[in-house]
């Protein structure tokens, strides 16, 4: 059981209320496999190092990362606060909205992106610029039931449908208000207790924002491993940096920390994207996997008729 704050509030109960109301996907319904599309160079790094790299979300291809969901929260909170008959509830929602706006710019999220489907044309085109693209099939439960080091992460499906996004935001707000109603006396006791509550509630709302994307990105069918760090000086956090076509990108490393999976990732198979010399590439990938004790992993070739 988590510790109470100095104001007597216990925020594990708030988190449970928000999650219970949110209606996020049930882990029992997650797909058995998820696919990570990447370049040949990044594939080699994953196999040779046994690590996954989590990139700073601000460098993703969606320019509305986080702000898309935050805008939806603003719209719904403003609508609700203007119609609520309980002035205390209206007040605490508006205070939380201010905290969401501040957290939006201060929050650091690092993500490792995957996809529900293999051999997608749009993904080969994205990752096949000036290189042979590769898709790595991961066992989903290898992320859910294995300890990882040094950072823990959440596995989340991205939500693209506007109606589902609105439903989740409404439910999250209701979860926060339910907690507020049960602990109104403590939360309204003084200014600091209101700040404590609104900051924690805003943090849970930001977590929700990080799972929402503009409907135009639905074709990506994206899932994410996500690590969120609390606000603080970015240069003190031990992240690494890599060069990319869009500049220098901060990233974190993670690897399995489990005796049953020493230095192994939950890889099931590898698919080589469209390329000029498919059979030569297949043999080369087989050799690489063999050298790293993964000779049992299947290697497939994309059958999409794309000119390379």
Average pLDDT over residues 10-29: 71
| Nearest of 212, 219, 211 to residue 162 by alpha carbon | 212
DSSP strand pairing (52-56 vs 108-115): antiparallel
| Alpha helices in the chain, H assignment, sequence order | 11-22, 40-49, 67-83, 87-106, 121-127, 141-144, 162-182, 184-187, 191-209, 278-291
Burial of 47 from C-beta contacts in 10 A (0-12 / 13-18 / 19+)? buried
Q: Residue 2: its pLDDT value, please?
A: 40
Examine the pLDDT at 20 and tell me if it is beyond 80. no
- Assign 178 to helix, strand or coil: helix
Calpha distance 208→22 (Å, rounded):
9
Give residue 16's pLDDT band: very low, low, confident or very high (50, 70, 90): confident
Q: What is the DSSP code string of 289-306?
A: HHHTT-TTSEEEE-----
Average pLDDT, the chain: 85
Q: How confident is the model at residue 10 (pLDDT cuts 50, 70, 90)?
A: low
Higher model confidence: residue 60 or residue 83? 83
CA distance 228 to 245: 25
**Contact between 138 and 266 (Cβ < 8 Å):** yes
Q: Please tell me the pTM assigned to this model.
A: 0.87
Identify the band that residue 231 occupies on the pLDDT scale cut at 50, 70 and 90. low
Q: Could you give the 3-state DSSP secondary structure of residue 224?
A: strand
The pLDDT confidence band at residue 228, using thresholds 50, 70 and 90, is: confident
Predicted local confidence at residue 56, as pLDDT: 87
Residue in this structure with the two tokens 């299947």, named with its chain if needed: 298
Q: Which residues pair with 227 in a beta bridge?
A: 110
Assess contact for 172 and 18: CB atoms under 8 A. Answer: yes
Which band of pLDDT confidence, cut at 50, 70 and 90, is reported for residue 233? Answer: low
Range 113-117 average pLDDT: 95
In this prediction, residue 127 has a pLDDT band, given cuts at 50, 70 and 90, of confident
CA 294 to chain CA centroid, Å, is 27
Mean pLDDT of 173-190: 91
Residues 6+ apart with CB under 8 A from 115: 34, 35, 36, 37, 123, 220, 221, 222, 223
């Amino acid at each position: 059981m988590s510790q109470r704050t100095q104001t007597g509030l216990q925020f594990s109960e708030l988190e449970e209320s928000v999650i219970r109301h949110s209606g996020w996907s049930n882990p029992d319904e997650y797909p058995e496999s998820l696919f990570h599309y990447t370049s040949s160079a990044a594939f080699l790094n994953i196999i040779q190092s046994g690590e996954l790299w989590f990139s700073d979300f601000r460098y993703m291809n969606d320019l509305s990362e986080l702000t898309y969901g935050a805008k939806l929260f603003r719209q719904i909170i403003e609508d609700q606060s203007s119609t609520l008959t309980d002035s205390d509830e209206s007040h605490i929602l508006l205070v939380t909205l201010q905290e969401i706006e501040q957290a939006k710019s201060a929050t650091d999220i690092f993500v490792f992106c995957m996809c529900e489907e293999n051999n997608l044309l749009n993904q080969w085109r994205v990752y096949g610029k000036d290189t042979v693209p590769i898709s790595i099939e991961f066992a989903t439960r290898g992320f859910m039931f294995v300890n990882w080091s040094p950072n823990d992460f959440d596995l989340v499906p991205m939500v693209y449908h506007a109606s589902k996004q609105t439903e989740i935001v409404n439910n999250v707000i209701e979860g926060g208000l339910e907690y507020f109603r049960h602990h109104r006396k403590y939360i309204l006791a003084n200014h600091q207790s209101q700040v404590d509550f609104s900051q924690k509630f805003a943090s849970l709302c930001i977590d929700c924002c990080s799972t929402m994307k503009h409907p135009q990105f639905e074709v990506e069918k994206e899932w994410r491993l996500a690590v969120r760090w609390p606000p603080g000086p970015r240069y003190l956090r031990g992240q690494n940096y890599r060069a990319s076509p869009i500049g220098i990108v901060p990233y974190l490393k993670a690897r399995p920390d489990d005796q049953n999976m020493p230095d192994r990732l939950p890889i099931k198979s590898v698919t080589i994207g469209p390329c000029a010399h498919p059979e030569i590439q297949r043999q080369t990938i087989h050799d690489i996997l063999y050298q790293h004790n993964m000779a049992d992993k299947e290697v497939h070739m994309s059958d999409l008729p794309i000119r390379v």
